[in-house]
Amino acid sequence: MSTLKERIQSDIKVAMKAREAGALKKELLKVVLAEFSRVEDASKQLSDAEYQAIIKKTVKNLKEVGTDKANQEIEILQEYLPAELAADFIESEINKLVSDGASNIGVIMGYFKKNYEGQYDGRIVSAAARQALS
């Protein structure tokens, strides 16, 4: 079983014991686990990166809602996502790739997908790559 999924299950138990203080977290994490179950096949467990992609999609949807409750839920879910790479780090990595001979966006995007899965915003990397290649 995935360590991220196990962590969420454990956090639900802790939130249940906290009763009132953990009610929002418990309900939110139960929804996330239900979404995991919906996506999983009976024969295949998802990887942590795939679970994180589901959580990122949930965060994106909550940002569109924009209510105070949605913002609280976003804060809770951020605990389960890796920190995103800083823009200056992304630019320096792209500049290294370009100086090493990367000549198109596909090579750069592939590098980030392979090495930093789930830790970057593809739009930021794409924009920085276009700028570096022009």
What is the domain range of residue 109? 87-133
pLDDT of residue 2: 64
Q: What is the pLDDT of residues 104-120, one digit of tens each?
A: 999 999 999 999 887 88
Q: What is the pLDDT of residues 16-63, one digit of tens each?
A: 888 777 789 999 999 999 999 888 877 678 888 889 989 999 999 999
Q: What is the pLDDT of residues 68-100, one digit of tens each?
A: 999 999 999 999 998 889 999 999 999 999 999
Residue 51 and residue 110 in one domain: no
Residue 68 and residue 117 in one domain: no
Q: What is the CATH number of the domain that holds 70?
A: 1.10.1510
Amino acid symbol at 4: L
Dihedral Cα 87, 88, 93, 95, nearest 10 deg: 110
pTM, whole model, 2 decimals?
Answer: 0.75
Residue 10 and residue 60 in one domain: yes
Residue 124 and residue 102 in one domain: yes
The residues, any chain, with a CB within 8 Å of residue 69's CB and separated by 6 or more, are 24
Task: Name the domain count of the chain.
Answer: 2
